[in-house]
Structure 1
Amino acid sequence: MKLIVASIQMDCILNDKKANLSKAEEMVICAAEKGAKLIVLPELFSTGYRVEEQDEALAEPIPGATTEWMQQLAARYGTYLIGAIIEAGENGALYDTAVVVGPEGYIASHRKMHLWGDECKRFKTGESIDVVELPFGKIGLQICYEIGFPEMARIQVRKGADILVYTSAFGRARYYVWDIASRSRALENGAFIVACNRCGRDKDSEFGGLSRIVAPDTTILADSGADGDAVVLAELDLDEVERMRRTLPYLRDMNRKLYNDKF
């Protein structure tokens, strides 16, 4: 089965949802018109990342206004759309949450479980590692820093995921981590990686870009540079997942008893 996917690399304007959604819409339309059926936006794409003073004011329920905006785009272009926003959760708790929508509406969300640096002062942690079933297969959904936690990817793959999606605002100073981890998660799981990252700067935080789509054998099918907005597109041959898992049978040969059968 063939599937066109897109990773949207964009700079964001702090505290300006209207401007960010307008830019994101143009880029999503560009990807959809080129045939993308799965389109990923960066972490906190609607608000910018360094909005800690405005977290409560900018937070939204899910579903909410931004989720509905995503739903409308997905329905108009017959695609599936993923992006992370600040979620207003239960009892005043805030979460860094990735949302999945499709032509049929809101589908699922993932609350970031592994928080980077001062994010623990802003957000509560999620508690569930799930997969999302879409018409073309199951995806594992993660956020930014979680790309460095291979256990999450392995659990999602064991639950049936063939595509691992990372919506991110990953720092430029650690570009080497992004480069190695995105390819490692592909190889060790025999999975496709859609790694979507911010570019530009918020305050003193500089983001690394380098959005990419990686094949199960670590081939980079498409990527962007470190700077500038970009629509990164690639066609996936999903049959490559099974072929790669036969070539490198890590999933078959792992001794799950050593992990108390958690994987």
Structure 2
Amino acid sequence: MTPPPTAPALPAAPLTVAAVQSQPVPGDLTANAASGAALVRRAAGAGARVVVLPELFLPAYHPPTLAADPAGTDVTADLARRVADPRLDPLRDTARDGGTVVVVGAAVRQPDGRRTISALVVDRAGEVRVGYDKQQLWSGERELFDPGDRGATLLVDGWRLGLGICYDGCFPEHGRAAAADGAHAYLCPSGYLAGSAHRRDLYYAARALDNTMFVVFANAVGGADPWRFNGGAAIYDPEGRPLARGADTGEAVLVATLDPDALARTRAAHSMLLDRLPDQGLTRSSLTA
């Protein structure tokens, strides 16, 4: 008889996080790193220890610019997935000075030549590493980028933080894989276009409830059609209710505290992670009516 699965350990203390919505300048990585550092300082001033900035924030999510100037819009990773680009010094300094972990979107040139949409992690010592490469590329992204081949979990102060990027979060399997790895929260830098508010607000709340984990959703905002983004950054509790939510327009820094007691209560009341079957739905029968 197979023993029942055991619940993953919970963090010992709360963690205050921030989800940012902002409008970076297409192609100006230096300016965007500086404005990102200012947003991180703002979040840290409100108590945030982890700050999530939008997808491709550093070069901006603007495919024409990303296609025309890959050398200027990419950062380069070494074999240890470290990024030494001096244009990121403002983020390094701010993370180090404020004791803050920063998750920020970038276009990364990998050592093997692949180009990925990635989440960089700037740690409290100011070191920059590639934390995760987007696995689910959306539409025209496939013409510019290569997909990542594995998930990733970030460990901060006893919290296990699964990493996803935008379209990843549209796939229930991606969030579930993070939860299966013990994630207490799921961090999703994103770039949702105007007209997608219904899906934007549904996907990430659903990933929270599906997996009884917090979700931190950062998003770009503003810009010119057809690359105009719709904000709505949010932090969701483990039942999918917003702890903080941004408007559809304007810059915002949303701060909330992730409470391990709320995580424990939710997982005690809604035990989907423990009750799921190892072969759920894989064995099927067919009926004719």
Normalized against structure 2, the TM-score is what?
A: 0.85
The answer to whether the Cα contact below 8 Å between 1:108 and 1:132 also exists between their aligned partners in 2 is no
- Report the alpha carbon displacement of residue 101 of structure 1 after superposing the two structures with TM: 2.2
Cα 1:213–1:47 shift into 2, 3 Å = same
Alignment pair present for 1:115 and 2:137: yes
Alignment pair present for 1:193 and 2:215: yes
Deviations 1:23-59 (A, max 9, x none): 2121111111111001001111111111222234321
Alignment partners' CA distance in 2, 1:57 and 1:140: 29
Deviations 1:41-100 (A, max 9, x none): 111111111122223432111313255543322111001110110101133221101011
Higher percent of residues as helix: 1
The answer to whether the Cα contact below 8 Å between 2:34 and 2:90 also exists between their aligned partners in 1 is no
Instruction: Decide which of 103, 121, 125 is 2:124's aligned counterpart.
Output: 103
Could you say which residue in structure 1 is the equivalent of 2:3? Answer: none
2:241 maps to a residue whose letter is T
What SS does the aligned partner of 2:148 have?
Answer: coil
Higher percent of residues as strand: 1
- Report the alpha carbon displacement of residue 202 of structure 1 after superposing the two structures with TM: 4.6
Instruction: Decide which of 11, 27, 32 is 2:44's aligned counterpart.
Output: 32
- The 5 Å alignment of 1:230-241 reads 230-241=252-263
- Report the alpha carbon displacement of residue 248 of structure 1 after superposing the two structures with TM: 0.9
Structure 1 unaligned regions, length at least 5: none
What SS does the aligned partner of 1:13 have?
Answer: coil
Alignment pair present for 1:124 and 2:119: no
Could you say which residue in structure 1 is the equivalent of 2:194? Answer: 172
Could you say which residue in structure 2 is the equivalent of 1:212? Answer: 234
- Report the alpha carbon displacement of residue 228 of structure 1 after superposing the two structures with TM: 0.7
- Report the alpha carbon displacement of residue 125 of structure 1 after superposing the two structures with TM: 0.5
2:123 maps to a residue whose letter is G
Structure 2 unaligned regions, length at least 5: 1-12, 78-82, 283-289
Calculate the aligned-residue CA RMSD, in Å.
1.7
What SS does the aligned partner of 1:86 have?
Answer: strand
Could you say which residue in structure 2 is the equivalent of 1:61? Answer: 76
1:12 maps to a residue whose letter is P
- Larger gyration radius, structure 1 or structure 2: 2
The answer to whether the Cα contact below 8 Å between 2:17 and 2:50 also exists between their aligned partners in 1 is yes
- Report the alpha carbon displacement of residue 108 of structure 1 after superposing the two structures with TM: 5.0
Alignment pair present for 1:70 and 2:91: yes
The answer to whether the Cα contact below 8 Å between 1:55 and 1:122 also exists between their aligned partners in 2 is no
Could you say which residue in structure 1 is the equivalent of 2:244? Answer: 222
Which moved further from structure 2: 85-94 or 155-164? 85-94
- Report the alpha carbon displacement of residue 147 of structure 1 after superposing the two structures with TM: 1.2
Alignment partners' CA distance in 2, 1:241 and 1:151: 20
Alignment partners' CA distance in 1, 2:39 and 2:154: 24
Alignment partners' CA distance in 1, 2:225 and 2:94: 30
Could you say which residue in structure 2 is the equivalent of 1:182? Answer: 204
Alignment partners' CA distance in 1, 2:158 and 2:91: 19
Percent identical pairs in the alignment equals 27
Normalized against structure 1, the TM-score is what?
A: 0.93
Alignment partners' CA distance in 2, 1:108 and 1:123: 15
The answer to whether the Cα contact below 8 Å between 1:67 and 1:99 also exists between their aligned partners in 2 is no
Cα 1:173–1:64 shift into 2, 3 Å = farther
Cα 1:89–1:108 shift into 2, 3 Å = closer
The answer to whether the Cα contact below 8 Å between 2:14 and 2:259 also exists between their aligned partners in 1 is yes
Paired residues in the alignment total 260
The answer to whether the Cα contact below 8 Å between 2:208 and 2:215 also exists between their aligned partners in 1 is yes
What SS does the aligned partner of 2:112 have?
Answer: helix
